[in-house]
Chain A
Amino acid sequence: MFERFLRAVASRWFRLVLVVLIVLSVQTTFFAEVRPFGFAVQFIAIFVASVGCTHDVQTGALVGLISGLMYDAVLATPLGISALVFGAIGALAAFLMQPFRDPTWWLRLLAISVVAAFGEVLMPVVKSVVGLGGWLNLRIVGAALVTFFGALVVSAPLMPVSRWTLQERVGRGD
């Protein structure tokens, strides 16, 4: 029993939850206050996209769903909306990287930025689908652009973090 608990704690998924907690805290403090042109850079969406770009589709989707559920828990929006959006962008980021055998660093950077910005477009669409209208306006463009340029800056250090978070260790974890 205790052995199983230790294995669970040492697993990459437990590590992921801890890292997402830290990413989420940076999102709700620093990036909630530092708002270029009045828009918040979606640091957590960039993290999910960087996981997608450095792993496969399934890992990207799963990390997106977990991160999104945690993000929803601190927002006033219905629980589950961010989970669906981030699940989609995690999978999309990995899907975009699939045609490339060994993508260059700048290609990953670009993919992360595009996908994270797409998340800002997808969020109000999903909100509208569940009946929370009023966000589908030109403001989306500003939010997407700020997240795009923000991702160009912060995704470079996030890629090694996402690799470290989800690396599998032989004989431990999974």
Chain B
Amino acid sequence: MARTRTNLTRAIVLLALAAVFFITLDLSGSGSTSNVRRAFDTIFAPVEGVARVVTRPLSNAWEAVRQYDEVVDENDRLKEQVALQEGAAVAAAASVRLSQELLALNGLPTLAGINSVTAQVIGETPTNFSQTVEINQGSDSGIKVGMPVLNAAGLIGKVTEVFADRALVMLISDPDYALSVKVVTKSSRTPVTLPPLPTEDAPTVDSVLESTNTSSTSSTSSTTTTILGFTPGTTTIPPEVVAGAGGGSNITVPLASQLAVRETGILEGRGPGTRPIVRFLDASTRGSAIEVGAPIVSAGGSRSLAPPDIVIGVVSRVVERLGTAGPVLEIDLVADLSSLSFLRVLLYQPITESGR
């Protein structure tokens, strides 16, 4: 009896030390804990699969009882919203395409050049103290740790654990999540309006496109461009944009200093039910006032967790702070994290996560 108790005590001490050792390893970013998780997953996944099949009817019954009225209301609301959005979506798609063409013309990175994998959410976090979801695609589909995850609305998080046929995604609302972002603010200065130029002095579309590495044909009102990596399309230029055309209307010239200001900061999650915040706004560019409703997009860069210009949300509140600390921005996310279904994993692994 005494021997058994001694053995138990030894086992407790050993396991407690192992727990502390594993915590240290995991927090230092060691890959060995991922191997432990993968090995355990090999045993656990079949058991979990069976449990999922058995418990799914019970979960569905619970959801049906709890959410029936909400689902009916939501369905009506969504039908109305879809009707409203259909027209806007066509215009938005044209704008996005134009924007991608312009970015490609200037040699800037775009999301169009990054492959992605579509995945479905198959599980939520079982604990109250982490914000993760489980998706049904893993390393077999090319997913790696650190890759950004989006839904139809915008960025929702990043991949933190990868198994062969599934992965765990840390949501943007998790307090451990941080990402460099840009706040697109309006310039406080008004653009300068110039009188119309004489026709012979005005730059034509031909002269602008000749300086780029593309083939193009153009007239005064429309131009067709062929850009590597994009489907050719026709871009219609309104007559008033081309100087001298259309009866000599005034030209609004936005100088570089008068374009939208992009302030960079760090977005941090603050747990479920609480809006994420943006801190550490770059002091050198904080001159212009940040307004409620200003869009937040990912900043990109070689060490960033996500490529540039992925939509994240809009500023919902600006909390001014004394001194040089700068304001803290509360963010309304565009993605609804409470009802995630289909997600898109961008096959873009940041340098900081390579090798994991």
Contacts and interface: CB of A to CB of B under 8 A. Distances in A.
Interface stretch (A2-10, A104-112, A123-131, A154-162): A123-131
Nearest to B40: A73
B127 A33 contact: no
B217 interface: no
A77 B127 contact: yes
Contacts of A76: 125, 130, 132, 160-161, 168, 170
Contacts of B272: 38, 139
Given A80-B22, A135-B129, A28 B15 contact: no
A33 B16 contact: no
Interface stretch (A46-54, A56-64, A95-103): A56-64
Contacts of B40: 70, 73-74
Interface string B122-139: 011111111010000000
Contacts of A24: 44, 47-48
Given A62-B15, A133-B175, A30 B129 contact: no
Interface string A110-149: 0000000000100110010011111101010001000000
Interface string B279-295: 00000000000000000
Given A25-B51, A33-B124, A40-B128, A69 B15 contact: yes
B12 A75 contact: no
Contact of A127 (B12, B50, B52, B129): B129
B356 interface: no
A27 interface: yes
A59 B7 CA distance: 11
B355 interface: no
A134 B176 contact: yes
Interface in B256-277: 269-274
A153 interface: no
A interface: dominant SS: helix
A65 B48 contact: no
A42 B273 CA distance: 20
A14 B48 CA distance: 18
Contact of A59 (B8, B58, B273): B8
Contacts of B126: 27-28, 31-32, 40, 74-75
Contacts of A123: 127-129
Contacts of A33: 55, 59, 62-63, 123-124
Contacts of A133: 175
A103 B171 CA distance: 44
B125 A32 contact: yes
Contact of B175 (A39, A42, A72, A134): A134
| Most B Cβ at <10 Å: residue of A22, A83, A134, A143 | A134
B20 interface: yes
A81 interface: yes
B127 A29 contact: no
Contacts of B253: none
A152 interface: no
B33 interface: yes
A42 B62 contact: no
A32 B47 contact: no
B269 A143 contact: no
A63 B129 CA distance: 22
Contacts of A139: 128, 271-273
Interface string B13-40: 0011011111101110000010011001
A21 B47 contact: yes
Contacts of B160: 76
Contacts of A59: 8
B27 A78 contact: yes
A80 B47 contact: no
15 contacts: A33-B59, A33-B123, A59-B8, A65-B12, A65-B19, A69-B18, A69-B22, A74-B40, A76-B168, A77-B130, A79-B37, A80-B19, A83-B16, A123-B129, A134-B269
Interface of B: 4-5, 8-9, 11-12, 15-16, 18-23, 25-27, 33, 36-37, 40-41, 43-44, 47-48, 50-52, 55-56, 58-59, 62-63, 123-130, 132, 160-161, 168, 170, 175-176, 269-274
